[in-house]
């Protein structure tokens, strides 16, 4: 399991680093919001989920897709705007979804996914099969009404939902302490009568343990949990033609990128230290990820652009 989690984190990081290069080369379109540095949150939480469980995501959603088991070929084709992309090229980076695996969509609106996650959790509650919904959102979402409404109603109805706050320390360019008085985001949980748990979001095993407890509670019908995962966005908020200039303090960035805080390096060191993984096996894992990503780019580039005659297709269901 730990090796699989490491592989998923490496894949997420390499996918986004590649997406940035592809965007610089104008081969993919639109905006890229890299998840680099935050991989342990998506992977730790999704490692506790089943295929029939659901997630909602954010504008920074590539990591959530991969962690939930999405096909990187179809993700890449979507970034390329091609017809074999998950949304047939209609959504792009900010709107990737895969309903077949319970990935109910990235979302360009901060906190927009929380009510939808509660709706999916209500459906799961009515189905009575023990499925849960994990709802990813950033620290910025805690300023939105949708966050507070969703916490209240889900606690009231004991919905099987896990609210996963990815506190990456910055809402776009604004430091979290400049928009909130209380650093302990998990403390909101008490006001709504649910457990609130803070966890080192760069320790995938800690995230996994915290998520496991929340998921089991939700499956038992005891209602939602708020997880506060402290992590850090290594790179910029968003890029179009070129990465924007860095505005955050250099020492803060360096501290978070140090080997003892980088989620991937920490798990690598742990697994090698435990003898679970050898340096050779790690190198071949990284090669395999690189080859998979090259194949994804080839898949995307081989896929045609959508036919403009299909512009109106998918508007309304029959």
Q: Which residues bind other proteins (CB under 8 A)?
A: 54, 56, 85-91, 95, 97-100, 104-105, 107-109, 111-112, 114-124, 126-127, 145-146, 149-150, 152-153, 156-157, 313-318
The crossing angle, in degrees rounded to 10, of helices 263-273 and 279-302 is 140
Sign of CA dihedral 165, 170, 174, 175: positive
Determine how β-strand 54-56 pairs with β-strand 174-175: unpaired
> By C-beta, is 125 or 169 nearer to other proteins?
125
Paired with 298 in beta bridges are none
Nearest CB to other proteins, comparing residues 116 and 271: 116
In the complex, least distance from residue 127 CB atom to other proteins, rounded to whole angstroms: 7
SS3 175: strand
Q: Residue 225 pairs with which residues in a beta bridge?
A: 162
Q: How far is Cα 161 from Cα 316, in angstroms, rounded to an integer?
A: 29
What is the DSSP code string of 68-86? HT--HHHHHHHHTT-TTST
Choose between 181 and 316: whose C-beta lies nearer to other proteins. Answer: 316
State the minimum distance, in angstroms, from the CB of residue 3 to other proteins: 31
Closest distance of CB 113 from other proteins, Å: 8
CA distance 240 to 24: 8
Closest to other proteins by CB, 2 or 157: 157
Between CA 276 and CA 264 the distance in angstroms is: 15
How far is the C-alpha of 188 from the C-alpha of 93, rounded, in Å?
Answer: 31
Regarding beta strands 54-56 and 196-200, do their DSSP bridges make them parallel or antiparallel, or are they unpaired? Answer: unpaired
Q: Tell me how far, at minimum, the Cβ of 318 lies from other proteins, in Å.
A: 7
In the complex with other proteins, which residue's Cβ is closer, 37 or 89? 89
Smallest separation, CB 242 to other proteins (Å):
26
Closest approach of other proteins to the CB of residue 135, in Å: 10
Query: Closer CB to other proteins, residue 78 or residue 268?
Result: 78
């Amino acid at each position: 399991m730990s090796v699989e989690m490491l592989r998923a984190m490496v894949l997420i990081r390499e996918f986004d680093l590649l997406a940035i290069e592809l965007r610089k080369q104008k081969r993919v379109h639109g905006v890229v919001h890299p998840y680099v540095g935050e991989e342990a949150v998506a992977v730790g939480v999704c490692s506790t989920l089943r295929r029939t469980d659901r997630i909602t995501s954010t504008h920074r959603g590539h990591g959530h897709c991969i962690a939930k088991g999405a096909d990187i070929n179809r993700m890449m084709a979507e970034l390329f705007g091609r017809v074999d992309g998950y949304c047939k090229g209609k959504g792009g980076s900010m709107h990737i979804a895969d309903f077949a695996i319970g990935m109910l969509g990235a979302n360009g609106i901060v906190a927009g996914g929380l009510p939808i996650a509660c709706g999916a959790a209500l459906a799961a509650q009515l189905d009575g099969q023990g499925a849960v919904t994990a709802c990813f959102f950033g620290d910025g979402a805690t300023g939105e009404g949708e966050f507070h409404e969703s916490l209240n109603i889900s606690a009231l109805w004991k919905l099987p939902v896990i609210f996963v706050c990815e506190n990456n320390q910055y809402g776009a360019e604004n430091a979290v302490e400049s928009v909130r008085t209380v650093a302990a985001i998990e403390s909101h949980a008490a006001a709504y009568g649910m457990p609130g748990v803070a966890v080192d979001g760069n320790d995938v095993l800690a995230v996994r343990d915290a998520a496991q407890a929340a998921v089991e509670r939700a499956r038992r019908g005891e209602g939602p949990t708020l997880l506060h995962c402290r992590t850090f966005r290594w790179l910029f908020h968003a890029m179009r033609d070129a990465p924007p200039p860095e505005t955050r303090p250099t020492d803060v960035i360096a501290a978070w990128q140090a080997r003892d805080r980088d989620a991937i390096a920490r798990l690598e060191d742990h697994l090698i230290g435990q003898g679970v993984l050898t340096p050779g096996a790690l190198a071949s894992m990284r090669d395999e990820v690189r080859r998979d990503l090259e194949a994804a780019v080839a898949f995307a580039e081989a896929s045609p652009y959508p036919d403009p005659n299909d512009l109106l297709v998918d508007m309304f269901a029959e």
